[in-house]
Amino acid sequence: MSKQVAVAGVGMHPWGKGGRPFVEYGVHAARAALADSGIAWRDVDFVVGGETVRNGYAGYVAGSTFASALGWNGARIATSYAACATGAQALDTARARILAGLSEVALVVGADTTPKGFLAPNAGERWTDPDWLRFRLLGMTNPAYFALYARRRMDLYGATSEDFAQVKVKNARHGLENPYARYRKEVAVADVLGSAIVSDPLHLLDICATSDGAAAVVLTSLEYAQRAGIADPVRVEAISTVTPTFPNTVIDMPLLATDHAAGGPPERTFKEALALAAYEEAGIAPDDVDVAEVYDLSTALELDWIEDLGLCKRGEAEVLLRAGDTTLGGRIPVNPSGGLACFGEAVPAQALAQVCELTWQLRGQATGRQVEGARVGITANQGLFGHGSSVLLAR
Amino acid sequence: MSTTSTPAVAGWFTTGDEPRLVASRCTACGTLVFPPPPPEAASFCRNPDCDGEQHEPAELSRLGRVWSYTDAQYQPPAPYVPTTDPFEPFALAAVELPEGLVVLGQVAAGYGVADLAVGAEVELVVETLYEDESGARTTWRWKPVVELGEEADQ
């Protein structure tokens, strides 16, 4: 039995800081995705919403909120939350129902309206909540975690601040022509190095902002796509949302310590396992990948992901970067959308935005940022509390 | 002069001349967890092959090696409690202990990222994190172990 489903349509709302209700962004993206698919809202039989935790009850029941805003059509609904992997988990839920033969057309929507500045924990005295304790006892912000990983690259593999800055320069250039990107301006290495250090060694321009935004994907069975006249659709080949395997020995936001590895480190890290599960599910190898969209919460993290995805050996991502391999026109372009560097993070929408970008890339519709001849694309992201995802798309 | 000094969080570290972090240890398989769950909380062992539910306090090594390090150059948001105005940056380290855990902590007062390197040895100290109505509230911190030769240069 085929384990593929069709990406019938994708749509986004431009990322920014508009401060409008997240529902408006989500409905805009949903209608764009439906229009892209040519499928009527009435024909959608399953809606999955990516939960936003910063917008009250409507955000907790996002699937219902979007379905209601589009006008109740009797579809079944679900809501997913998996931190930064929310969109991918929502997509996986839709895919599973389609592959089970229980649904034919699913609409997956993620949207967010975010506050300014550091993402802070919920209010109150919560002495058993690690996300609260890390601020109270350590003053450990998200960028501080990103900085730990960045420093390790420097001390272990010889990465430099200039390398990190070059990731930003590359992604800023990639995003120039992307109509959905929030930041569309060239950035020079000197701009990055001249920006304030937030958490050593990361500068302000090494770290992604938080944004408002929305992305939506219409999934259908391959049979439905064929009947609907969608010729040669992009296919979802795999969605990996595996959890870590004990012991997880890389310190994860927002935790204060790793698992206890009495018998030494495990065979692979959590992020390596995320990618491997996607490759194995699809029967696709890293060598087959033409383009990648990875979660560059920081510039240095993009380099980690390139290795986690098996696109080069551990410690060699800087070699690819310096050779221009990860730039548009290079051997394996990474973040042709401009990545989080150009978008900023809109948590429940971000993993879906990666899928939207790869869909446009594989269709040859990524005007101004097209990876020529791309047939296989992979996404990667990681969120809090053992959440993460990797989606493989092909055409 | 402040006379009262109590840990900001109970049961996570010992005090005195040679303070240590206190983990919880599964009595069935020996798996360690830091921070330890509250005494009244159920403790299901994290090891997927162990169904242990009993745990006991276990002191960890005082010395470890830096897994990585950074600092906070902007004041973190609440519930972080600022102690100076204007804010003074502080360093943070993730430290690998011989038992096989990496534990985060602030770096001891007076030390910054220039004093640290991946793999460098650090020791656990207890210092004041902030003061509240009960007096000084303390926390664990990582302090670089100065090599003997370097000590002479200072």
How far apart are the C-alpha atoms of A319 and A296, rounded to whole Å? 18
A210-236 b/e (C-beta count within 10 Å ≥ 16 → b):
bbbbbbbbbbbbeebbeebebeebbbb
How far apart are the C-alpha atoms of A68 and A186, rounded to whole Å? 40
Tens of pLDDT, residues B80-113: 999 999 999 999 999 999 999 999 999 999 999 9
| pLDDT value for B154 | 43
Tens of pLDDT, residues A311-365: 999 999 999 999 999 999 999 999 999 999 999 999 999 999 999 999 999 999 9
Cβ A133–B9 below 8 Å, yes or no? yes
Residue B1 has pLDDT above 60, yes or no: no
Cβ A144–B72 below 8 Å, yes or no? yes
Cβ A152–B67 below 8 Å, yes or no? yes
Tens of pLDDT, residues A229-257: 999 999 999 999 999 999 999 999 999 99
| pLDDT value for A277 | 98
Contacts of A346 (CB under 8 A, 6+ apart): A15, A110, A111, A112, A114, A210, A211, A212, A213, A214, A353
Residue A118 has pLDDT above 80, yes or no: no
| pLDDT value for A119 | 65
Cβ B76–A139 below 8 Å, yes or no? yes
The two beta strands, A234-240 and A388-394, are: antiparallel
| pLDDT value for A174 | 98
Pick from B48, B105, B118: CB nearest A138: B105
How many A×B Cβ pairs under 8 Å? Answer: 130
**Strand residues in A84-187 grouped as ranges (E):** 105-112
The reply to whether A197 touches chain B by the CB within 8 Å rule is: yes
Closest CA to A269 of A279, A280, A258: A258
| pLDDT value for B152 | 45
How far apart are the C-alpha atoms of A237 and A279, rounded to whole Å? 9
Span of A116-130, B12-26, B42-56 with lowest mean pLDDT: A116-130
| pLDDT value for A28 | 98
Residue B4 has pLDDT above 90, yes or no: no
Every domain of chain B and the residues it spans: 9-60, 61-146
- What residues in B contact A141, CB-CB < 8 Å? 72, 74, 76-77
Q: Which two tokens stand for residue A245?
A: 């395997």
Pick from B31, B38, B68: CB nearest A128: B38
| CATH number, span A5-116+212-234 | 3.40.47.10
* Nearest-neighbour CA in chain A from B83: distance (Å): 12
Interface test with A, best of B60, B73, B118, B142 (most A CBs within 10 A): B73
The two beta strands, B135-144 and B5-7, are: parallel
Confirm or reject CATH 3.30.1330.40 for domain A130-205+237-394, answering yes or no.
no
CB atoms within 10 A of CB A21: 17
Pick from B33, B80, B99: CB nearest A135: B80
How far apart are the C-alpha atoms of A5 and A220, rounded to whole Å? 6
Every domain of chain A and the residues it spans: 5-116+212-234, 130-205+237-394
- What residues in A contact B46, CB-CB < 8 Å? 246-247, 259-260
Tens of pLDDT, residues A161-171: 999 999 999 99
Residue B151 has pLDDT above 80, yes or no: no
Amino acid at A153: R
| Largest Cα span, chain A | 58
Tens of pLDDT, residues A79-105: 999 999 999 999 999 999 999 999 999
Give the residue with greater pLDDT, B151 vs A272: A272
The reply to whether A31 touches chain B by the CB within 8 Å rule is: no
* Nearest-neighbour CA in chain A from B69: distance (Å): 5
Cβ B118–A156 below 8 Å, yes or no? yes
Any idea which fold B61-146 has?
A: OB fold (Dihydrolipoamide Acetyltransferase, E2P) (2.40.50)
Residue A320 sits at φ, ψ, to 5 deg, of -60, -45
* Interface predicted TM-score (ipTM): 0.94
Q: B126 forms bridges with which residues in the sheet? A: B140
Alpha-carbon A191 to chain mean position: 26
| pLDDT value for A1 | 55
Q: Which two tokens stand for residue A222?
A: 């391959």
Determine whether B146 is exposed, middle or buried from the number of CB atoms within 10 Å of its CB (0-12, 13-18, 19+). Answer: middle
Pick from A121, A128, A262: CB nearest B100: A262
- What residues in B contact A198, CB-CB < 8 Å? 73-74
Cβ B69–A196 below 8 Å, yes or no? no
- What residues in A contact B117, CB-CB < 8 Å? 155
